[in-house]
Structure formats: structure tokens, C-alpha cells
Structure 1
């Protein structure tokens, strides 16, 4: 009888031990982070493939297509206004003068936005001419808006239409050879941009990106809580990272610089990978297989599933 009791006790302990082991295993499995399959889609300059770039109609169209992020560029006017524009001048590719005349390639840099007041800048038409690089782009008269106006327009549109919030990827267009020629120096430039973003209360929804490491260094020092993206157009990852004193949250290379090995290396360094500007369907599909974190594209509908 005593032997039977001991056997039953040993069986009970074995069952209890098995349950505890399975419980521990399940708990451990729950703690293992699973990589999300969601790839963030960013509308480049709105949706440049079909709408005038960096325009309010273009940003709204991108939102209607379901982008997660609207990507845009900012420059400065003579009177200290933050203007949404890719170039610090009136591009001959898509801009018409207030009189409706075309601008030649030789003339375009004479229209330096940093030497023009915003009232003058707003009179130029950035949508009626279209852009030969984007034959499907809708032609409509529009203008270079202020950053503050873009934010108000987007936020009001989202509320009015009961849409999900979007984030903002704002590129500070900066070139060290252009300091005090077509732009302020980095510290001043950053202050102008951040003043607008703080006044609009959208800091949790933004990241700042730039090719100019000096802009990123200034942002890192003055606004350490803001997400930063390091834009690169050439070079190896290791060499590019030697040019910056800290590790940004995002590494944003030209998509042709990437392969699976490089994506893995960048992620292991603690950064997200968001390539630009990925437009052809085959290229979009290819970078998706690399498990990038986001895609910046002129054709967001091609990347959205």
C-alpha cells in the first residue's frame, strides 16, 4: 500500500512538472517579438505620379489612396516662411510664371525662393504645366504652399472625413554649398521648421529627414526626441555611418543600394530601413521581399495592399 501511494505521488508530481514546463514555454513564446509584415507606404511629394508634387491637392489624393505617411520637402522664403518645395528655386520642369510663361533651365535658379517673399512665391503655378517625367500626372493650377497650411489642410481633411491619422516625413532640403545663398545655416533652418511643427502640435506624428548630416546633427542636439531619417544616395552603409556622430532611427537609402544582406545589416544596427523612390512594380515587389520597414514612392497605390 505504501508503494502504491509513493507511485501515485510521483505520477502527480510528474504531471504537475509537465504543466509548469509547458506554461513556462508558452510564456516564453509570448515574449518573443514577432516581426510585423506591415510595410509603411509613404506618398512621395504627395503622389507625384498622378498629382502636382508637393501640393495640397497631391497630399489629399495620397491620403485618399491610403498612405500611412505623406512625404514632403521644405525650403525657406526671404521673409522667414517655411515653404513646401523640393527645390529652393522655380523648377523649369513643372513651374509657370505668374503670367503663365514657361521657365527655361538657364533661368530657373534666378528665381531663388530664399530671395523672394512668400506672397511672390505663391503666385507661381506648379500644376498647369504638368511634368513630362510623369505623363499620368493630372494638370491643375496650384501653388507652393506653406508648411503650416499643408498641416492644417491635412488634419482638417482627416477629421472631416473620419479617416485614420497619417504621419509626416519632412525633408529639410539642405546643401552645405548653399548655406546663406538659397537657405539659412542648419541651426536657423531647423528652428524655423520646428517652430511650425511645435505650433501645430504634431511632433508625435513626424520624422525629419535630410541628406545634410549637419541638419541631422542639429536636430539630434536640439530636439533629441524627434525621429530622424538619414537620407543617402550613394556609398556603402559603413562609410555613410562614419559621417554621422549618432545612430538615427531610420536609414533611408536610394533603393538600388539595397540587397537582403544590407537590409539585415542596417536592421541589426538598430535602424529601420525605408528606401526611396521606388516606383516600378517589380522594384516595389523586390524591396518588399527584403522586409524593409517602409517604401517611399510616387505611386502609392502600387505599394498599398
Structure 2
């Protein structure tokens, strides 16, 4: 329908319901009655000839048409808000909360450096960290419920932007005194022992080469390369996944009480060695190297506050003192 015939206030209602998945939640944010929200939705449904939201087990579930419209509406309203405000972002005076989706790996390795960097510069900036292992994390990014996602990504759709924080590599970790530590480590010997695997979504179902496609974003949810390569090889190697967990923090305690083997990001492995009495094995192959990225929706490029925080995070991870602290497991 022609935009000149549409009440733009209806789009604000649409965005609030999309974010809260609730008529009552939207009414609280907009400071209007639930009845007014329902009336606005009825008008919008009639104008767009679609139900837009239907009752579901977790609230008001968006239809396919609503999901298609969501990003464009949020982007348009953001542009209008930017044009109306055009306020300079002053870190020392800013009062704001940024929402970051991250694994426990990023919370341990990256988050302390972010806090150390921004706390003196912007004392009223708050950070809220959400688990990245939710299957709908990209939808939350699209809907504006999350500002940034930190993780390992391959392909990104045009609406997403990427900033690389640093390059990470893999390390194979066992308990101290493990039989593998006595003698040269080979692929064959590695497969003599069961493995504990980190599956960031709690299931490898739908993953290809350790990645899943989440609304066009290819994100890593499985880090055990040895098992994947063995399944694809013709060398007759077979690996056994004895335990799979959705969090890196669960791995060291499991290794301490068993002869299991785990692949961890190297910086986290170094920390585990220092704190949990584990050992890093010499690999019989060149370790895989991957970029740890922070992705966000393209609308963040028009947000002075978001741009400032991106710059601070990049500076924190590029600082030689910071990187030295990272590699030695210090906070």
C-alpha cells in the first residue's frame, strides 16, 4: 500500500510487539493501553492483509510476512529517530545499555578487556550478555533485541556487518598424566580415547562442517575438527564422542576425572592449563586458525554509540598489553 496512506505510529506498535512478543509488553514500552495496541494491530493487519502476529506457546508469534517486514521497519524507524535526534555521543555522559550475545569463551577471554577499556571512559555504559547458543540469536539481532554477536562466522548476508577481533587457533587438551602425554601424539593415538565435544547449540543436528545456517548467517556451533575429519577420511579412523556439552566451562572438570580428549580454542586451553591442572598436547597436524568476529546489523552504522563501542572493543583487543594478558590467561 502507498506509504502516504499508512499511519507511521502503527509501525512503532509493530516493532514493539515484534520485540516483546506480547501486547502487554508493547503497551508498557509505548505507554498506551493494551486495547490501543490491539486496535493498532487490527488496523495494520487490515492495511497489510496479513495476521502479522498469532498466539503461540511463547507469546505472539510473527507470521512469515511479519518476519519479512521486521528488518525494514526497524531500519526505517531507526533512520527517522536518527534524523530527529542527531545528538552527539559523549561517552563520559552517556547512559545506555548494550546487549551482546556471546559464548562463555568470549565472556572469559574478551569481556574483561572490554570492561577494562570502557569503564573509565563511559562509567554509565552497561553491558548485558546473553548466550549465543540460542538458535534464534540472529533473529534477536534482526529484531534489535541484541546489538552485537561475538563468535565464529563464515558467510554473512548483506544486512550484517563484521569486525574481526583477533585470530584464534585450536588446541587439544587432556588431564595431566594422561596416557597420551607419554610418547609422540599421532592421529591414531588420539582416536584411541573418547572425546568431549562442545556443541554450542546443544545439538549437532543440521550442522555442516561444524556450521549452521541461521537466517543467512553461517555460524560455528561445533568445534571438534578431529571427529569431523575422521568421518570424511578414508583412513579408517573412527572417533567416539563420549560427552557433548553446550558450554566450554564444562570441559575442564570432565577432563580432570577421565581419559577423555577435548579440542578447545587455544586461549581458553591456556587458561584451563593454568587453573585446572590440564595439559596441552603437541598436535600431529597444523592447527586450524579462525577469526573471532563481532557481527551486528547494518543499522548500527548509523548509531554513534554503537560505532564508538565497536572502536573501543577493537582497540582493546589490538592493544599489545591486552593481547599479552590474553595469551597468558590474565584478566
Bin the TM-score by the shorter chain: under 0.3
- Larger Cα Rg: Structure 1 or Structure 2? 1
| Structure number with higher strand proportion | 2
TM-score (norm: length of structure 2): 0.26
TM-score (norm: length of structure 1): 0.27
Higher RCO (CA < 8 A, seq sep 6+)? 2
